Structure 1
């Protein structure tokens, strides 16, 4: 990807990865991603803000060569290697450059990339670094999403280089957001899968940014925001305690019994004015489950019994929900069994991180009968009552 100018002597020099479809061997990214890196050239000094994934080092170095720069500093906002992995190659080309980061990040970089101690310049929260006519301010943003993360603010140009904060896995040739709807969904999914467990920390970090004048937010993945309020308002909504009148039902059904229960519950809730998202785990990307968890106050987990426990798909979805710590208020379990088991106990035992109230489960033997449907109706009525109390 060719370099692009953001403002005078400020350039985007990173790379777009059009073909990547899996991140951290875990997260599906159907729209690809980018590794955003930025060059800030002052009258006295020049700084590179973050690098790129090692697979794209050649694109970064080509852009730097085209700009004919002499690097004095490499600012590292985050030690994860999609940001820092090109540092060793950069230091080979620019051996006099110093690595500028915080103390926690420094220790991780020394471990991950074997960078010697003498290469580092350690900065504190809100400390500044002058490039002559441009000033970089470092803002600690811990647990977004690692303990050492920080952002870099270019004061004169009012650009916040936010690293993973506000990012999206969305490959595009446009430097700024042009399709707000598409980027909103990508950014929300990015938040759901990566940031949601740290919702309280993100609230604190957003508070740190409220008095800073920002004209451009430049994250490390996805397009940049020249309308910062677009993504700032979205994050404020996602991290708030507010929820929608919605129930998500992640489920798997082997022989139709559990599916019939899900269909009956969904119909009963829809009839009572509640939005429902049944998520068939046999065909649904687990990232879509994470996305649905951002806004929902209620999750009903539905599973058949496999041997003595829940279906493995349900185990994975339950583990994910527990790990992501969404703002769920209520949880229930429905499902079926043949000759016995501990499916319910195992599912509820996996939800220790969540502070949600457990509503009366409905676990049946065999195919659901009339009395079973009545129990599901009772559960639907209870969910409606709980949602009414949230308004």
Structure 2
């Protein structure tokens, strides 16, 4: 997908929003490598450190739905710009925190700002590009999650070692403040000015959409379980050292993720040209192809076998990042795109990312971490199979459910 194939507006909006997403994930992940220094400064327990991540996740989840709803009813460009400005300012303020409570409040505010971004930005991209490239455009947008997230972890450690934890927040907060002004200069994407707005309860009458929510919850639970417990698993079961585990898994995940996101998005768009449910098939296929490879990795007899199987499993699992947003927008009218994405993020963040680490930890306490990872794998397979059921409902009801036929 060459940027040169797009007009100047399309190229500008894709580059700017992908860059903002890149900064988004740097700001989100920067805190984790700073934990040891923050703990020493404020004399915190591990539980209090964990709250810094949990509070962000809860606030972020609760904010995505109302802010997505707002983006469908007002200027999406302004919602994006103000959200970026808000979270970047809160990131900068995190470096000024004089107590644990003030740092906790600052991280909660980061969650509010970031909650405004993804629903509005994803909807803006879908409104700005033809439907036939929707998954690929969303895939490029989602690359920021892998590259920015990995760079956030690396930058946090480097800056903290060089200058302390406070300058880390200062340095990563500034680019967002600049980008917020850049976003504000983007033209508003074309929308039907007089189109009737879709009531939120009506989306829940669409079986295919509801199944995407449930499937997304299951596979996000699995993915976040792998991320939160993967390093500890390879240390306990595969003989990795802490540094070796972090570097090996981080590099493999970024590389596999880049190829997986772009490859899965391209395949999804190609399948969508042949079948109305083609993008769903790409998502389901990715999860189901990934599962046996990740099972092989969990039971691998050596580090080399583990890393190879993990890379292949991660490649297929990351197929879904571009297509799932495209599917949500395929199933809903343009006036509901941000709301549909906001509800999806509300469900997966509140009921998956906030629960997965604790649930897997409780299983590990009782039956071992391998059993916990098997639980995550079972959730992944269940999510992949449920995505196949989405195909049934699209074949029965069409891509746009009759309940939404009156809305454009």
TM-score (norm: length of structure 1): 0.23
Give the helix-richer structure, 1 or 2.
2
TM-score (norm: length of structure 2): 0.22
Task: Indicate the structure whose relative CO is greater, using CA pairs within 8 Å and at least 6 residues apart.
Answer: 2
Give the strand-richer structure, 1 or 2.
1
